[in-house]
Amino acid sequence: MKAEEWEPYYTEILDYFGLSRENDEDAARILATLLLRDDTDLLQKTINDRDCIVCGNAPSLVQEIKTTDFSGKTVIAADAAASVLYRAGIRPGVIFSDIDGMDDDFLEMNDAGTILVLHAHGDNIPLLCSWVPKIRGRIVGTTQSTPLSHVHNFGGFSDGDRCVLCAHELGAASVALIGFDLDDTSVDPVKHGKLMIARKLLKLLGHDI
């Protein structure tokens, strides 16, 4: 999804959650100063015209990994789903993260070739400042607000739907989803709102889950 297409959804999200566009834009500028490279071209080559599997971090992921054929596919992980995959012997090609689920496994995967797509928003500036300088491998910066020259906006709000929207925007041949549970009733009201937004965004792209 292009930034101009994303804008009305973003405005709705700001109103719904009472978020600050200014804080999001501050975070994007800080991320821009921290980034030493922009590997968006490599990200596009990794996704374009490829069959992609996007892995969410629902508890069902552990079982779904066992019944999914990953061979020849670009594996895209939403935040902490990357560690679940890695423990199962699968290193994702791409990880999308707003850094709240990030740990040293991410750095290890990044050193081995995984592209980290790190997202700046108003609530994660300390995490950006802590983790981004540690990254030695491929990296792409994203924002949900106004894009900058090397901080991109592919659309999406939570890690899972950002993965999917970006995969479609960068020309994936197909996008399959595992590890998504948008009907989880055990979550708090904020998380519930995020799941409902994710469902709305994914439905736009034909993922009716």
pLDDT, tens digit, for every residue of 121-147? 999 999 999 999 999 999 999 999 999
CA 206, CA 148: separation in Å to the nearest integer?
29
Lowest average pLDDT, out of 40-54, 130-144, 165-179, 189-203, goes to 189-203
- Return mean pLDDT, the chain: 95
pLDDT recorded at residue 54: 98
Give pLDDT tens digits for 35-77.
Answer: 999 999 999 999 999 999 999 999 999 999 999 999 999 999 9
pLDDT recorded at residue 192: 85
